[in-house]
A and B are shown apart, each in its own frame.
Chain A
Amino acid sequence: MRNILVILIVTLLIACTEKEPGGQGPVTAQNKPMVVTSNCPLYFFSSEIAGDLVDVRFPSIEGDPAMWVPGGDEAIMLQSADLLILNGAGYESWLSFTTLSGENIVDTTANVQSMLLPIENTTVHQHGPQGKHSHQGTAFTTWLDPELAIEQSRSILQAVTQLKPDQAELFKTNFDQLEKRLRQLDQSLAQSFAKLAAQPVVFSHPVYQYLQHRYQINGRSLHWEPGIEPGTRDWIELGKLLQAHPAKLMVWEETPLDSTRGRLTEMGVQSVVFNPAANPGKPTDYFEMMNKNTDQITAPK
């Protein structure tokens, strides 16, 4: 009886210490090159192209990534990334005050400068003897134009291919599929916006420049936030705008307050949401988001 007990214990010990077949555990994120992206669409494009071969990350940012201020931990992540995939076009305003190594930065709009749109009507100010200046720049929600999104994805393809040249073929295949889906989205968006014909539209925020440009939308922009009740001055401004630009549709980044929506309806303006999806709060499928946006676009009654 005692011998049987000893044999049983020894057998159990051997079983516990035995290695897994093959002797290798699962591939961890530590073995993969780290790629950090500056917004959700770039995160999605990078993940689609690189698949599981690269550890694609998007920092946990609350709110608009364009207004992000990296903290100490995020600075370490940005500095230690093998690739830092940026939107460019002035989107990453945090670049002007963040210390990074230039070697690993990929500006995905660097090759499409001629397709970028300038922001107009910025305020000029002056203090001291340095002279007048303004903080103007370039419209940066480039990923809303599928044609630009394809070019940005092409930059990502080149960067990840340089990072892992042995996987070039796989990356190219993934990119081709992504390009195909973006072209389909382009057609779908074109059909949706065609329903508007040349009807005037109001955008709640000036972030739809590329959408407006690509699909010839007759739109004008305000500076309204979906979660903030517009003030008297804002309503007066809208009234004046509607006199010159009789829009019946207002496009919001997110669902506006019920009170705002109600008052707009009274004014004969229908509210729809077209989320630019820069940071929907959690990693989201870009196409899912865009299809949801497309479904919202209907000709105002």
Chain B
Amino acid sequence: MEWRDHGILLSARRHGESSAIIDVFTEEHGRHAGVVRGGASRRLAPILQPGAQLDLLWRARLEEHLGSYQAEPLRSRAVAAMSGRLALSGLNAVTALLGFCLPEREPHPALYASSERLLDLLEQEELWPLAYLRWEMELLEEMGFGLDLLACAVSGRNEELAYVSPRTGRAVSRQEAGPWVARLLPLPPVMLGKGEAPDHEIAEGLKTTGYFLETRLAPALGNRPLPEARGRFLDAFSRRL
């Protein structure tokens, strides 16, 4: 068995004295692990940092084997990530959530493309939180828990949408919210692609996506807690509010 693909490195852990087992989100083969011989060496260790864009050649005798990778760097994102607290915590949140959510060896080309675009924006701190919010919405969609924000779940109208139902993930308009306001989740204009995307709206949006990640996605994945890296990103983002 042999294939060649591009991928985003999610994690690398040492294997023996000189090798590493890497977990990569690839374009055509989904999340896929493999051994890199010499992956812990001085030459390869700086390349095998989370977020790195790699050209990969995977080989194994049988498809179900772990197999081994030959990895060539296409783009390193370590320097971009280390440029600031927000970028670093953002990169950790993305790689941790992908590692948390994605089943092994199941391709998600659309999510791969949006993840690659998101990580390429790492150094642009002004754009990054908005791009991250959109990416979390896409992640929920891809995992089967997408939000339906096109029209109000009660009236069917698409005006003054201001809330999201925590039960259905559908939008609710301000008029129809009525006595349930306190129990509904915020739907800031930024989640509808409207307005100038101020930070406080992005924070509200992350509260809503976080709710569905925690109460819908995580239970479906064996009730594991969400990666702490997401919480650290929210902490870093809250510092600039």
Are A and B part of the same complex? no
Binding site for A on B (CB under 8 A): none
